[in-house]
Amino acid sequence: MKNCDSNLIDHEVLALKSVFTGKYKSIIITTHGTYHSEMTVHELLNKACIRYASTMEGRMQATRIFMNYPNKTPILIEPTAFGAFPTMSYRHAECVWLFNHHFDVEEVDKGKCLVTFPNGLSITVHVSKHVLLKQQHRLHYTLDTYRFIHREKKPYIRKVPPPTED
């Protein structure tokens, strides 16, 4: 595992998880490996959002208002491209952020699931399968809604006749 920063929070990130070991505060799971960071999950997400002209709180508030999600709000980091959802209140130490990639869910105990990504990496999250699937749906529905509303439109070009000579 390598030390890294918020630059790894991109289209290839699968999950973010808090850790409390030594100098590391979070684990970043990507399609190409697992990394430790000295930054907290909140700091990583905030810096990633700032790259796209907002803050994590700004993204969260916009989604809450736009989609009417009162809690466990997903965020769109790059609004038409990728985002993440929390498995529980993002203020809770056991909150894991999962991104808009496919994953399989196996409930291994009441309120505990194994999330497996296509690259074979797995993580355990302390939340029910029902909550995970609901949160995943919220994220994808928010992304799809935002893409639909902000789809590329041809700019309106007003044709102005050439000036007349008087």
Q: What is the mean pLDDT of each run of 10 residues along the chain (166 residues)?
A: 69 95 93 92 95 95 93 93 95 95 96 95 96 96 91 57 63
**Phi, psi angles (nearest 5°) of residue 164:** -95, 150
Name the DSSP class of 6.
G
Residue 163 confidence (pLDDT): 66
Residue with tokens 């009441």: 110
Rounded Cα distance, 88 and 98, in Å:
11
Rounded Cα distance, 140 and 147, in Å:
10
Domain boundaries, the chain: 2-149
Rounded Cα distance, 5 and 38, in Å:
8
pTM for the structure as a whole: 0.87
Residue 3 confidence (pLDDT): 53
